[in-house]
Chain A
Amino acid sequence: MINFVLLALLLIVAVGIMRLQDLFAVTMLLSIYGLMSATFFVAMDAVDVAFTEASVGAGISTLLLLVVISFTGRAERKTRHKPYVALFVVTVIGMLLLYGTSDMPYFGSSDAPIHNHVAPRYINDSMREIGVPNIVTSVLASYRAFDTFGEVVVIFTAGIAVLGLLSVSSKALSNSQPLNRPRGLYQQHIVIRIVAKILLPFIFLFALYVQFHGDFGPGGGFQAGVIFAAAFILYAMTFGLDAATAVVKPAVIELIAAVGVLLYGSVGIATLLSGGNFFDYDYLLADPIAGQHLGILLIELGVGLTVTCVMVMICFGFSLRRKAHEQKAVMNISERGPK
């Protein structure tokens, strides 16, 4: 019953996102959509997915979209043409997809192969072979470590793409006039700064808890990385971009992002060199169970490092670009002189 109500609310919010023209309101509605999805996953008893959706969909996406909107403006540009061709293509592909699913077994039927072969194998053998109570972590990090490797590389590629498209050369920023915006902006918000300062150690500690507690409860590298990145972004927002880039230099962030992927891949290479398959952690140490635990620990660490640094890189990339844009606008106005 509660699932129907939540799905209906999701549909209403989605229709609202389509119809509103003000991009800021759309961002707020997207945040609401993310948290409704997280609640829906909680109602369906999928705890890890709800965790990831709450942190990524409702948190980081909203932050990044707000940075972008502050750069591009709030109004949605009106499209001048009617997209009939696009509608036709979407309808055809949708029909093909629906036709393709007609051969699959019914949703949740008990004689589907996934319920007879795959799921019982994982559920019955996970504790014996890997020794980790959280089956989601054991499937993601050990049985399907190769797929998770692909996910980490995709995140890293996204970070590189943003860096390639949006990075600002350092000389464009350093030899310009100091920005003529009221510097008292941050001195005025003293309540925020103090509360953020109190909360930051707690957020970092909680992110570490989520990272290493992923074996026993919901958590793992992805969620922990996103929470870490959110803490850095909070610091950058309350204390200013200059203070944030002085604390974490962009070059170091880029390096650590690469180190995370390298660590993940090295675990695989180490298992190959020890005589097993790629990502077969039994061969890492003498005792297979201890080898599994060490393997899962190392790859979750690699995932956490990469996700943190890529999120921080994307946000800093947008903000530095915006700052360079504003500085150029200030210089143009001051060059032209007062009218």
Chain B
Amino acid sequence: MELLISISSGLCLLVGSFICISGAVGVLRFPDFYTRMHAASVTDTAGMVLILVGLMMVSPDLLVLAKLVMILLLGLLIGPTTSHVLAKSAFRNGVKPKLTSNSNDQGGDTSKS
């Protein structure tokens, strides 16, 4: 039983950290602000859930488990809200998405999408 818990915790941590690193690489390499935002927010939340679940399985006592649950709930509430806030603020201040890579369509009207 102990072995099973520690193996599954290690697996959660491994997958979670892989997701986080791939999100960071995506933020570096994606061409446009909105695609980077998508990479950052989705991978942040998913990686955070997995890493915290992995830590919860090996937590020494109940108080640590309760605090980890609180961090998880906070992160689930705060993460999507901040990405919404950021995307809305960027859109209202004129950051335009790069729609096609043709040179005669300068990422213009978003009414089509």
A–B contact with Cβ pairs below 8 Å: the answer is: yes
Q: Binding site of A, secondary structure by majority: helix, strand, loop or mixed?
A: helix
Total cross-chain contacts (CB, 8 A): 14
**Which residues from B are CB-within-8-Å of A192?**
81, 85
Q: What is the CA–CA distance of A198 and B84 in the complex, to the nearest angstrom? A: 17
Decide: B77 and A199 in contact? CB cutoff 8 A: yes
Interface centre among A189, A195, A198 (most CB of B within 10 A): A195
Chain A residue at minimal CB-CB distance from B73: A202
Residues of A within 8 A of B81 (CB): 191-192, 195
Residue of B nearest to A191 (CB): B84
Which residues does chain A contribute within 8 Å of B85, judged by CB atoms? Answer: 189, 191-192
Q: Which residue of A lies closest to B77 (CB)?
A: A195
Task: Report the interface size class on chain A.
Answer: under 10
List residues of chain B with CB within 8 A of the CB of A195.
77-78, 81
**Among residues 77 to 103 in chain B, which have CB atoms less than 8 Å away from a CB atom of chain A?**
77-78, 81, 84-85, 88
Q: In the complex, A157→B43 CA distance in Å?
A: 45
A191 contact set on B, CB distance < 8 A: 81, 84-85
- Residues in chain A near residue B84, CB distance under 8 A: 191
Interface string of A165-206 (1 = CB under 8 A from B): 000000000000000000000000101100100110010000
Question: Complex: how many Å from CA A192 to CA B83?
Answer: 11
Contacts of A198 in B (CB 8 A): 77
How far, in Å, is B38 (CB) from chain A's closest CB?
18
Contact residues, B57-113 vs A (CB, 8 A): 74, 77-78, 81, 84-85, 88
| B88 CB contacts on chain A under 8 angstroms | 189
Chain A residues in 8 Å Cβ range of B78: 195, 199
Q: How far is the CA of A264 from the CA of B11 in the complex (A)?
A: 52
Compute how far the CA of A198 lies from the CA of B78 in the bound complex, rounded to whole angstroms: 11
Residues of B within 8 A of A202 (CB): 74
* A189: chain B residues within 8 A (beta carbon): 85, 88
A interface list, Cβ under 8 A from B: 189, 191-192, 195, 198-199, 202
